[in-house]
Chains A and B, each alone.
Chain A
């Protein structure tokens, strides 16, 4: 089976992770712009981060046969630094038109402040103007209210629910999000978000329509194989293959390809203009492809 992790912060992960993900069947990832675990002190650092999401990280993933996409946006935490926020909001048009950008995100609420709300509104308008999907981060604290409030604001701005993925759902938020017509993503992340056994129960209860599984693996204790492990658990507990494919692969394509930038063909049949084949197909990654066998304790380093 093929899998997609539609929410993972690859920049914080190692090449070993990429190797294991590729081995486990993950063919494409989406890396939403987020904070670094500590707040950025200036807009330049944001600029270079965006630039690496559309540039070097995409190249790094490609070396492992994984297609890398991203979402661009100002996250809620850093929206509270208003001077920084203004500069970052001004910078967004420079990056939203990039080839691998599949949505505006992750945006939404953290503390539910006025500054967060302003950044959310500006970015919803941008998404609407550029006809891009939106990835909504829902808060850890006060999750239910934050989620509902986000949806109210989205509807106020006239952004269609089918263009929006509400992420980090749980048993408390799932029904309302689905009933209102949104894509509902669930993050399998130890301790703070969902566990995969709980995820199996969600799929048993709600089926596979518009439900998406992701890892949100980042710099914290998290698991880049959360999607594939959840898929295995679903299969072992009698969930149909088709439902596993929808929740762990296909729904993410349908949601994010509304940008026109997340085509299955990109990884199933790469075009001659694909970065791995540029310049007369002379395998430009020669020598940079990880071709060594898994490392061993006594390996000779040559």
Chain B
């Protein structure tokens, strides 16, 4: 693929996807897919709906298992795009989506709406993970926000995790609701693209209240919450952090240490000094938010 690309412009996501399927899908199903892609591109609606449904059983459901180089090309084709967890069938479904005629936004949007409204679980995942590749993103923002209202955690994750769409398209209010809901349902924050770039005071204030309420009810507070609070920690937050730093679990102490470092105040330094061992781990760069996330959600 690299060598064919003589003009040095990065290949499109559709070209990459089709290229990845070439060596792993047998001739007959690949021919079926190419035929469906052509039909969808020609405006055939029923080819889209049936093809989208049938794709995984035709081409396979196994993971794509992309190499580091392939993932790098994906990033070059579309920054923030991370298909490392994609399946073969999902790639085929995405190719069909990318073939829908989109010059006229109205019928294009109508078709996507029909697919979203009738989607089963794995189809929903494919649709939401395809969002950053689809034309007219502005038409799809409400759909993504609505998708986050799901009770099904892996559909929530298809939008919130490893997906650059929310960072690029969500208002502050929508972004904050996504983070709040993630903490509520026990979904990780670390895999959210742009999680630190989009910290904001309003989010921190909501989370400080939430943490305080959890403490009052003697319920555990998700360790990753403090990542959003650190840069904006107020008096209440400092009190709560000091208390958890004194008596919390190892993961909680690591999270508080990172948050205190981000708040960069004298008071934070004083709290940090109460646990010299944790402070020294912090100074040696041994504590990271990814590490906190992994430890907090280890089974």
Interface SS, B side:
helix
Is B56 among interface residues, defined by CB-CB distance under 8 A? yes
Cβ–Cβ < 8 Å partners of A187 in chain B: none
Give the interface size class of chain A: 20 to 34
Contact across chains for A279 and B157 when beta carbons are under 8 A apart: yes
Q: List chain B residues, Cβ under 8 A from A100.
A: 120
Known: A97-B54, A286-B186. A55 touches B121 (CB 8 A): yes
The residue in chain A whose Cβ has the minimal distance to the Cβ of B85 is A279
Shortest CB-to-CB span from A73 to chain B, Å, is 15
Q: Is A25's CB within 8 Å of the partner chain B?
A: no
Question: Is B120 a contact partner of A55 (Cβ separation < 8 A)?
Answer: yes
Q: Name which of A147-155, A168-176, A210-218, A268-276 contacts chain B.
A: A268-276
Nearest Cβ distance between residue A116 and chain B, in whole angstroms? Answer: 25
Q: Mark B115-129, 1 if CB is under 8 A from A, else 0.
A: 001111111110000
Q: Is the CB of B121 within 8 A of A279?
A: no
Looking at the assembled complex, report how far the CB atom of B20 sits from the nearest CB atom of chain A, in whole angstroms. 16
Q: State in angstroms the CA–CA spacing of A272 and B157 once bound together.
A: 16
Residue of A nearest to B191 (CB): A279
Could you tell me if A98 and B53 are in contact, using CB atoms closer than 8 angstroms? yes
Closest residue of chain A to B162, judged by CB? A279
What residues on A are CB-neighbors of B151 within 8 Å? 56, 59, 288
From B46, B61, B154, contact of A279 by CB (8 A): B154
Task: Report B-chain residues with C-beta under 8 Å of the C-beta of A273.
Answer: 61-63, 87, 89, 122
Q: Does residue B32 face the partner (Cβ distance < 8 Å to A)?
A: no
Chain A 231-287 residues near chain B, CB threshold 8 A:
260-261, 271-273, 275, 278-280, 282-287
Given contacts A279-B157, A284-B157, contact A271 B62 (CB under 8 A): yes
List residues of chain A with CB within 8 A of the CB of B56.
Answer: 99
Partner of A59, one of B118, B121, B123: B121
Complex CA gap A279/B154 in Å reads 8
Q: Is the CB of B49 within 8 A of A283?
A: no
Task: State whether A95 and B62 are in contact (beta carbons under 8 Å apart), knowing that A279-B85, A288-B153 are contacts in the complex.
Answer: no
Say yes or no: is B286 at the interface (Cβ < 8 Å to chain A): no
At the interface, yes or no: A54 with Cβ under 8 Å from chain B? yes
Choose one: A55, A93, A279, A280; the contact of B50 (CB below 8 Å).
A93
What are 19 sample pairs from A and B whose C-beta atoms fall under 8 A apart?
Answer: A47-B118, A51-B117, A51-B118, A51-B119, A54-B118, A55-B120, A55-B124, A56-B151, A93-B49, A94-B114, A97-B50, A97-B54, A100-B120, A273-B89, A279-B161, A284-B153, A284-B154, A286-B153, A288-B151
Q: Name the 5 nearest CB pairs between A and B, nearest first.
A: A97-B53, A54-B120, A284-B154, A287-B186, A278-B154
